A and B are shown apart, each in its own frame.
Chain A
Amino acid sequence: MATIAHPGDHGHGGDHGHDDHGPLHHQFEDIEQQNECYIVGMWTFLVTEVMFFGAFFLMYTVYRMYYQLDFYRAHEHLNIPLGAVNTMILLMSSFFMVMAVQGAQLHNRKQVIGNLGLVQLCAMGFLTIKFFEYKEKFADHLVPGVNFTQNAAELHGANLNHAQIYYGLYFGMTGLHAVHILVGMLVIGALGAMWIKRDKLVTEDYVPTELIGLYWHFVDLVWIFLFPLMYLLPKPH
């Protein structure tokens, strides 16, 4: 396998994307270096995502420090079983994702496509449950703004303003997470389509599948923290 592309390589057939070098591109010494570069590149993106979500978690921490009791009261409105089911759905989707990556490593096309399909189903299930949770909160006027409810029963006795901060963080953080799920569904859909079409970009080497897997696991990680911090606030005692 040639590790250095010669100027003459550009001659054949106009297609120098796949023909000669397999998955290895000419700027890399060998496939290990290329794979490490790809994966480190993806992790760099994930670090920026940690910074992005980190600001939200910091904001949550500061307001939770000040308004501990009101956050607890406002959170009583959330549906814990639905949150737990959604957590489980995302954990399972992460498992299907690693099985898809394993399939890519073993060049088992059916395993990849089947598992990517299961990941998509999990993502749809997650968003469906989230939709019904949001719908119920919209109906109860729990969206921060001028129409925010003044009903003490809906707020579980929490201070109106502090409850708005809680719901602002709830919709902001879970909404941003849901957007990440949507983006994940798009890229996983594109990846699955490439596997179905036997595109060499994904079938020759497992790393493209692995990179999208890394993104999906990150989305799962965010939810692992969102679930206890939004749904499972400890009772002040």
Chain B
Amino acid sequence: MAKTPLQAAQSTDHGYQHHVVPTWKYVATLLALTVLMLLTVGAYYVDIPAVGPISGTVMNQTVALIIACTKTALVVFIFMGVWWGTKLQKLWALTGFVWFFLLGLILIDYPMRAYESVQGWEGERGKAGHGQDGSALPRVVTPSSQDQPVAPDEINLRPRG
């Protein structure tokens, strides 16, 4: 009985089996990834309104990261074949991402400390005064502002050239 190459590879002609994913599943995955890529660029140009205490900026960032995580899941499960892998493979694939979230726990430390601003390095959280919203340079731009030095106390100026 004639077998297609796919059936032949899935059968025991080498004494073992491995899963051969049909091409259409890979094509569908690529299409889904393309749509998600366009979606994330599209979402960038939309200012998502705030939801309750969550600001619009955070909403936009959350949407971007959810899209990135969805793309990651598609690549890991289908392209990297973890979906059809053994339990040990799945555990190992999970390990990397568990580590990544543990790493994020370091962020608990940061809001617990007072922000000690350094001149020229104040952030929005510092609220230390000069500049607008933490910026030391004027928002209004002149064409040849290359020639206009900024006041030395505003920047971490080192000797040049």
Contacts and interface: CB of A to CB of B under 8 A. Distances in A.
A224 B82 CA distance: 18
Interface of B is mostly: helix
A4 interface: no
Nearest to B37: A87
Interface residues of A, number: 76
A12 B146 CA distance: 76
Contacts of B100: 50, 54, 57
Contacts of A30: 16
A149 B120 CA distance: 16
B47 A162 contact: no
Nearest to A46: B96
Contacts of A44: 92
A237 B23 contact: no
B123 A162 contact: yes
A50 B141 CA distance: 41
A157 B93 contact: no
Interface residues of B, number: 83
Interface of A is mostly: helix
A155 interface: yes
Nearest to A80: B41
A98 interface: yes
A75 B154 CA distance: 21
B72 interface: yes
A54 to B, nearest CB: 5
Q: What 9 A-B pairs have minimum CB-CB distances, sorted nearest first?
A: A234-B60, A50-B96, A43-B92, A66-B123, A157-B139, A47-B96, A228-B64, A232-B44, A95-B30
6 contacts: A32-B16, A43-B89, A152-B145, A159-B136, A161-B120, A237-B47
